[in-house]
Amino acid sequence: MNTDSFESTAFVFAPPPVVTLPVAGSDQRFAVRRIYCVGRNYADHIREMGGDEREPPFFFQKPTDAIVPSGAAVAYPSCTNDFHHEVELVLAIGREGRDIARAGASQHVYAVGVGIDLTRRDVQVAARKLGRPWEIGKSFDHSAPCSELRRLVDGLPNKGRVELEVNGELKQSGDIAQMIWSCPEIVSQLSSQYRLMPGDLIYTGTPAGIGPLQPGDYVVARIEDIGVVDVHIVSAG
């Protein structure tokens, strides 16, 4: 594929803008390349979904332009009557790598953040029963709210409260320590399947307590010592 630079007149239409996230304490922004998500990485969430916690987690992707900044409004999506929240720790990759050893995983992570994996649950479940891909339930527009990113200083987090509130009521509560696969294991395993590149985000899975959202709901997700992301669910325009 030819990746040379072109004048804007060379394009049929203007290329889309680069998707970015703010970095705490910096004027620079993090340009997002890909969004990877870990499925089934907390035992209590696997149990509430009726799964087998002995099965290893797996990965799926969301489109880059699914990113939503903190404080934004998210329209209730089409094609669903069961729109769910899932709070997740996010790892932001800053160094290229493939087949990364667990011991060296932190060297490839630039920052961490708080994400919400918004899900059309009814659509996801229907696709799963038919053996079809999950994209329609997971990878729709505005399905990946994310906080500002906080630079990694003392290694990858291995503990810290993970919480999500809807209209001030606590819905999800867990701890990073409850992950089936730790952050280093996630980075190592994912890098055996894809070459990780600067700009990649990894949503690392959600604890129990997932539930429905409705227009008018105000959602706040936080992780201890990492950050907060909030969004307002509005009716589709």
In this prediction, residue 1 carries a pLDDT of 36
Q: How far from the centroid of its chain's Cα atoms is residue 5's Cα?
A: 31
Q: pLDDT tens digits, the chain, 237 residues: what are they?
A: 344 455 657 899 989 999 999 999 999 999 999 999 998 777 654 555 555 555 666 899 999 999 999 999 999 999 999 999 999 999 999 999 999 999 999 999 999 999 999 999 999 999 888 888 888 999 999 999 999 999 998 899 999 999 999 999 999 999 999 998 999 999 999 999 999 999 999 999 999 899 999 999 999 999 999 999 999 999 987
Beta bridge partners of 111: 92, 151
**Distance (Å, rounded) from C-alpha 114 to C-alpha 203?**
9
The structural domains of the chain, ordered by start, are 22-234 (3.90.850.10)
Spatial separation of the C-alpha atoms in residues 11 and 91, rounded to whole Å: 33
pLDDT at 43: 67
Q: Which two tokens stand for residue 43?
A: 């035992």
C-alpha closest to that of 35 among 105, 80, 88, 98: 88
Which pLDDT belongs to residue 136?
Answer: 92
Residue 132, pLDDT score? 85
The pTM is what?
0.92
Q: Determine the Cα–Cα distance for residues 208 and 194; give it in Å rounded to an integer.
A: 28
